[in-house]
Amino acid sequence: MNNEPFHQIILPMKDRLFRLAYGIVRDREEAEDILQDLLLKLWSRKEEWHDIGNLEGYCFRAIKNMALDRLSSMAVRKTDAIEREQEDLYFVDNNSPHHAMVIKEQQLLIERCIEELPENQQLTFRLREVEGMSYREIADTLDISEDLVKISLFRARKKMKELLAGYDS
* Three-state SS sequence of the chain: CCCHHHHHHHHHHHHHHHHHHHHHHCCHHHHHHHHHHHHHHHHHCHHHHHHCCCHHHHHHHHHHHHHHHHHHHCCCCCHHHHHHHHHHHCCCCCCCHHHHHHHHHHHHHHHHHHHCCCHHHHHHHHHHHHCCCCHHHHHHHHCCCHHHHHHHHHHHHHHHHHHHHHHHC
Distance of CA 27 to the CA centre of its chain: 12
* 9 contacts 55 by C-beta, under 8 angstroms: yes
Predicted local distance difference test score (pLDDT) of residue 76: 44
Q: Please provide the CATH number assigned to the domain covering 90-169.
A: 1.10.10.10
| 1-76 maps to CATH 1.10.287 | no
Q: What is the pLDDT of residue 79?
A: 45
Per-residue pLDDT of the chain (169 residues; tens, 9 = 90+): 467 778 888 889 999 999 999 988 888 999 999 999 999 998 888 888 888 888 888 899 899 888 888 876 764 444 445 455 555 555 554 567 777 788 888 888 888 888 899 988 988 998 888 888 889 988 988 889 999 999 999 999 999 889 888 876 6
> Hey, what amino acid is at 135?
Y
**Predicted local distance difference test score (pLDDT) of residue 145:** 93
Domain boundaries, the chain: 1-76, 90-169
pLDDT on residue 85:
59
pLDDT score, position 38 = 92
Query: Is 137:56 a contact under the CB 8 Å cutoff?
Result: yes
CB atoms within 10 A of CB 138: 25
Give the pLDDT of residue 24: 85
Cα dihedral sign, 94-99-101-107: negative
Of 1, 3, 17, give the one whose Cα is nearest residue 51: 1
Residue 107 near residue 86 (C-beta atoms within 8 A)? yes
Sign of CA dihedral 138, 144, 146, 149: negative
1-76 and 90-169: identical CATH topology? no
